[in-house]
Amino acid sequence: GQQLNQSPQSMFIQEGEDVSMNCTSSSIFNTWLWYKQDPGEGPVLLIALYKAGELTSNGRLTAQFGITRKDSFLNISASIPSDVGIYFCAGQLRGSSNTGKLIFGQGTTLQVKP
């Protein structure tokens, strides 16, 4: 199946630093979603994006839907220890392939050093 290219694969940062991760694809998406997953738990939805160019914030998190509809990024400002986890991007396809199915990136593992 299709997958998104998510990078970086992992990050180890100091508490207080800002974090940036992104996802790219050769396909055009209707929707971009960003999730956080803690070990042994289900992913939790952080931000949903529906329009090209859209910039949306949720607390210290900011995500953007790329103008080309083929990419998205997620920024976390002033990281704290509870930001630790795996972050996934996911896209919903546009056009005749629109079935609501999500295509996921491989995830970015974030570790924060206090």
Task: Give the contact letters, 45-64, x = binds to other proteins (CB under 8 A), - = no.
Answer: x--x----------------
Task: Pick the binder of other proteins from 13, 52, 84, 102 (CB under 8 A).
Answer: 102
Task: Pick the binder of other proteins from 59, 95, 100, 114 (CB under 8 A).
Answer: 100
Residue 20 to residue 6: CA distance in whole angstroms: 11
Residue 68 to residue 63: CA distance in whole angstroms: 15
DSSP 41: S
Comparison of 54 and 77: residue with beta carbon closer to other proteins: 54
Kindly report the CA angle at 55 between 52 and 60, in degrees rounded to 5?
A: 150
Task: Pick the binder of other proteins from 11, 22, 23, 43 (CB under 8 A).
Answer: 43
CA atoms 38, 41, 47, 50: torsion sign: positive
Amino acid at 17: E
Which spans of this chain sit near other proteins (rule: CB under 8 A)?
1, 3, 30-31, 33, 35, 40-45, 48, 88, 90, 92, 98-102, 104-107
